[in-house]
Structure 1
């Protein structure tokens, strides 16, 4: 259905005003909505807080039929669905932590075609009960949206291998639907460098996608990097920073669950009201921490990368990376949690001195990350010799416990093709044995040690070379 024949642009704007109460679209929201209503594929890169979700929610609500939103985190889905339900819209979510009665209700609503938007993780989308219902010939599916699409690149090879199977979803569904059916595919993210864009496009099999790219520059975000000479010095710098900003909302990012718990406990001993947050916490605990932080009961949270995606708190005044992330895309995502209200916000990263003599922790973390990547690659290549050349994912993972990751890595190196989301065929030769994550990890190190304007470095890294020429932001530590 083309919106031009069925819905005038005036009606689109009226719906936007009625549901969200805004006067008009921000550029390029209107153009993106237009593209999705015309059922074209798209890749959208817009900074955090740029109003991405409205771009796919509005087209979904204006059309009959279902839009599937694939989202990486439960918190992210819950926030968006809650908001839509407050606006009395037909939206629901499915994830593994749902009570069974709620799951049943949603699956029934899906069967009866009562939903406009259904949020689910890649794993849930590919689970038997959900796939069975989506496959029904009479169920009209308009679009497949991949929200936070950088997760496909960041996590798809190892941590969440189901992401690598998403490209096979559309062709498989189209085979089961009436002839002439169209399902559009759109990927949304705040950060994707040129390599990540290419991976997203290839894995999802986007067809002549419309491309929307806003550069990540935020004039109110002040990035800086400071050397902490010893582990004790790192804690002292953190403490001093927090003391100088009493009661200002902030976030402290660390790399592991253990770091998050230990640092939160130490800050509590120092008299600070805070909490640890990571993916290992139960759903109730996670919601509790989010609510306390959003409601201002605790000024800051000590968290891993599991926190913050899609959690909207406009007045975050600072983000500290107590440990630097491995990837630049993660870094930009995480500092983007600050200053969404447009007022000045600080983004400080603490690093060990480059030699690692006085504090080898940063170097060890980096080496551990690289070693893990290499060993996963080797395991995949060894497993390839044992795996059946053609197979069904669930049967193979039952027989070989590590095979889900191995299949994703083989797909990434061009040695495997998905026949549909559940069946693969191995094609022997490696086409591009690139260790993507390792290349991008080097870039993060360059950023931390650069003497040039930090925003200029980021613009270059994310492919905005024209904008980056002769750039000086004037408000990062190197410019100051």
Structure 2
């Protein structure tokens, strides 16, 4: 773990903090580095926190929010993630709420009234909901006290912020805009939390959010109880047979099977049901009720494993997951680390197996086609944005641009990511560079994952190097001893 500008949790009120922690969550002490993060936020200092999945990140911002006056905004990427965290807080009778597009009109009005009356301590919402007129207008009311903004799962800003979810690029303009509406002396703390951010991603998060001298807490993603392996599946049928053999050798163990699309998930879940397994396909296309039912069945053990897309996992706490299989590997290495991190959160041995096509893709071209599709889509988005540049005024309002020009918001986000645009507030922009510059996609986002899958060195060392933890990689010496590469060396 690397700790910069570390604060020692020794303030006079620390006993009260511990007492509140024990009252709410039942623990008598914090796990490292929870105490340092909580103290940092109580001191109203910005922070960037990189902690492995299962490290207890949510407590680090929930407790300071509950101990502070006013509301802390928690910017979250997925409805399922918001619902899980808010439900846990409400079960403890804590003043937390959420806002998203699937809420009933009555529930939405109730939450907005509670926000106006300063009755909330935590409000979960997406970037898009944050910028909706009804929400933004209330947040700007002088009497509404806002003490902090948390970006949960901050890697989504890097993965999605310049194309898929352009609203992420505008988050850095939130604090100065809100402060202009609040009484003099108001302070709003910003903290970003994620399990996966390499050095470049850390820099991007800090720049976009405009963090002020943040305390940076970097914890190695290394998990000695998690065995990593990659197997070649020569044909689609062979891939299914490998999956079947793996699960047959681990009866009565909880696990997850990751696929990349809804269609793949539903087809695989149907096939596994035909093989006699009780399972379900989980993806973002399900209703909230359907998602909750699958989560409940999995957490209670009524079904041992779920076939899921990346929509499943964030914020769902099942400590006894013994295995994770990537039936299809993700394009991004950061997604891979997030997903394998669901296994072995209780510290007991766990397995993470990835099934991949042979390198040429001649016998099973699915993986190669999936990667090519991802790269083509990104190129297409950059090309579309480039073509729109001559239509976009040098100054303007993002909502007007979005109405008048399809994909205009994405073009603005790409300009911002390339340093050619600045946001005066979350809605008004000014192009500060020449629009004649080419908006090329200089990043090969798929390359780190491809290198990991084909590496001949220890897999954990490769991951640690990729995520900016060279000291942790060196500490493993000749290898971790619990990945398929190290297994081969020992044999």
TM-score range, shorter chain: over 0.9
1:91 to 77, 88, 96: 96
Hey, what's the Cα distance between the residues in 1 that align with 2:117 and 2:192? 27
Matched, 1:473 2:486: no
| Paired position in structure 2 for 1:298 | 303
The RMSD of aligned alpha carbons is 1.8
1:33-79 CA deviation, whole Å, 9 max, x = no partner?
A: 11100101000000011111111111111111111111111111111
Q: Report the alpha carbon displacement of residue 385 of structure 1 after superposing the two structures with TM.
A: 1.1
What SS does structure 1 have at the residue aligned with 2:242? helix
Go from structure 1 to structure 2 and tell me whether the alpha carbon gap of 1:10 and 1:238 turns closer, same or farther (over 3 Å shift): same
- Residues 413 and 432 in structure 1, CA contact (< 8 A), matched pair in contact too: no
| Paired position in structure 1 for 2:243 | 238
Matched, 1:445 2:450: yes
List alignment gaps of at least 5 residues for structure 1.
none
Hey, what's the Cα distance between the residues in 2 that align with 1:376 and 1:78? 31
Hey, what's the Cα distance between the residues in 1 that align with 2:341 and 2:232? 22
Per mean C-alpha deviation after superposition, the further-off stretch among 202-211 and 423-432 is 423-432
Hey, what's the Cα distance between the residues in 2 that align with 1:190 and 1:309? 10
Q: Report the alpha carbon displacement of residue 4 of structure 1 after superposing the two structures with TM.
A: 9.7
- Residues 158 and 204 in structure 2, CA contact (< 8 A), matched pair in contact too: yes
What SS does structure 1 have at the residue aligned with 2:83? helix
Hey, what's the Cα distance between the residues in 1 that align with 2:206 and 2:438? 16
- Residues 53 and 195 in structure 2, CA contact (< 8 A), matched pair in contact too: yes
Matched, 1:117 2:122: yes
| Paired position in structure 1 for 2:269 | 264
Hey, what's the Cα distance between the residues in 1 that align with 2:318 and 2:44? 32
Q: Report the alpha carbon displacement of residue 247 of structure 1 after superposing the two structures with TM.
A: 2.5
Q: Report the alpha carbon displacement of residue 440 of structure 1 after superposing the two structures with TM.
A: 2.9
1:11 to 16, 39, 55: 16
What SS does structure 2 have at the residue aligned with 1:343? coil
| Paired position in structure 2 for 1:217 | 222
1:179-209 CA deviation, whole Å, 9 max, x = no partner?
A: 1111110000011001110110000000100
| Paired position in structure 2 for 1:46 | 51
Go from structure 1 to structure 2 and tell me whether the alpha carbon gap of 1:3 and 1:240 turns closer, same or farther (over 3 Å shift): closer
1:454 to 447, 456, 459: 459
Q: Report the alpha carbon displacement of residue 408 of structure 1 after superposing the two structures with TM.
A: 1.4
Per mean C-alpha deviation after superposition, the further-off stretch among 308-317 and 423-432 is 423-432
Per mean C-alpha deviation after superposition, the further-off stretch among 424-433 and 356-365 is 424-433
List alignment gaps of at least 5 residues for structure 2.
1-6
Hey, what's the Cα distance between the residues in 1 that align with 2:102 and 2:84? 15
1:314 to 310, 319, 336: 319
TM alignment of 1:285-434, pairs within 5 A: 285-429=290-434
| Paired position in structure 2 for 1:82 | 87
TM alignment of 1:95-244, pairs within 5 A: 95-244=100-249
| Paired position in structure 2 for 1:435 | 441
- Residues 3 and 38 in structure 1, CA contact (< 8 A), matched pair in contact too: no
Q: Report the alpha carbon displacement of residue 362 of structure 1 after superposing the two structures with TM.
A: 1.1
Hey, what's the Cα distance between the residues in 1 that align with 2:372 and 2:132? 35
Q: Report the alpha carbon displacement of residue 3 of structure 1 after superposing the two structures with TM.
A: 13
Per mean C-alpha deviation after superposition, the further-off stretch among 467-476 and 115-124 is 467-476
Aligned length: 478
1:381-434 CA deviation, whole Å, 9 max, x = no partner?
A: 111111122111111111112112222122112222111101111233478957
1:93-152 CA deviation, whole Å, 9 max, x = no partner?
A: 111111111111111111111111111111111111010100001111111010110010
- Residues 137 and 177 in structure 1, CA contact (< 8 A), matched pair in contact too: yes
What SS does structure 2 have at the residue aligned with 1:69? strand
- Residues 70 and 120 in structure 1, CA contact (< 8 A), matched pair in contact too: yes
Hey, what's the Cα distance between the residues in 2 that align with 1:20 and 1:471? 40
1:337-382 CA deviation, whole Å, 9 max, x = no partner?
A: 1111111110000000001121121111111111111111111111
Go from structure 1 to structure 2 and tell me whether the alpha carbon gap of 1:299 and 1:72 turns closer, same or farther (over 3 Å shift): same
- Residues 255 and 321 in structure 2, CA contact (< 8 A), matched pair in contact too: yes
Go from structure 1 to structure 2 and tell me whether the alpha carbon gap of 1:391 and 1:349 turns closer, same or farther (over 3 Å shift): same
- Residues 9 and 36 in structure 2, CA contact (< 8 A), matched pair in contact too: no
- Residues 456 and 471 in structure 1, CA contact (< 8 A), matched pair in contact too: no
Hey, what's the Cα distance between the residues in 1 that align with 2:48 and 2:26? 26
1:419-465 CA deviation, whole Å, 9 max, x = no partner?
A: 110111123347895736x4231010000000100000000000011
- Residues 413 and 434 in structure 1, CA contact (< 8 A), matched pair in contact too: no
Hey, what's the Cα distance between the residues in 2 that align with 1:281 and 1:246? 28
2:284 to 279, 282, 291: 279
Hey, what's the Cα distance between the residues in 2 that align with 1:6 and 1:132? 36
Q: Report the alpha carbon displacement of residue 286 of structure 1 after superposing the two structures with TM.
A: 1.3
Hey, what's the Cα distance between the residues in 1 that align with 2:358 and 2:198? 28
- Residues 397 and 403 in structure 1, CA contact (< 8 A), matched pair in contact too: yes
What SS does structure 2 have at the residue aligned with 1:202? helix
